[in-house]
Amino acid sequence: MDTFTIRDVADELATTGAESTEAFRTDNVSLEVMRFEPGDEDSMHAHGEDEIYVVESGTAELNVEGDVTPVSAGDVVHLDPGTDHRFQAFEDELVMTVVYAPATGVHD
């Protein structure tokens, strides 16, 4: 069994200045913790894997191929493989987990 707290990982990201870290990985799934602050940039991109985002805290907008949707704590978003997207308009610290299935990088 593997355990960790999202807040501890987010605090470590704040300390190092990194936007994300892979917190867990198997051959079938990986989990990344992401943290953004006002003024941060997330470029438009796509992944080859299914993605499930869980917004842990904060607010922002999710731009999915030009469609913009507000997201905030408690929201869950699924993106199909190959979907162009980016997070933007960070109003405060945004902390999310993202689950990739299969594990990220398998289809890159």
In a domain, 15, yes or no: yes
In a domain, 71, yes or no: yes
For residue 82, give every residue at least 6 positions away whose Cβ sits within 8 Å of its Cβ, in sequence order, or none. 46, 47, 48
Read off the pLDDT of residues 7-18 as tens digits, 9 standing for 90 and up: 999 999 999 999
Q: Which helix (H) or strand (E) holds 11?
A: helix 6-16
In a domain, 107, yes or no: no
Number of other residues whose CB lies within 10 A of the CB of residue 1: 2
In a domain, 108, yes or no: no
Domain that holds residue 40: 6-101
Beta strand pairing status for 20-25 and 59-64?
Answer: unpaired
Task: State the chain's mean pLDDT as an integer.
Answer: 95
**Structural domains counted in the chain:** 1
Whether residue 104 is predicted with pLDDT greater than 90 in this model: the reply is no
Whether residue 105 is predicted with pLDDT greater than 80 in this model: the reply is no
- CATH assignment of the domain containing 51: 2.60.120.10
In a domain, 1, yes or no: no
Q: Which residues of 58-72 are buried (b: 16+ CB within 10 A; e: fewer)?
A: bbbebbeeeeeeebe
In a domain, 40, yes or no: yes
Tell me the pTM.
0.92
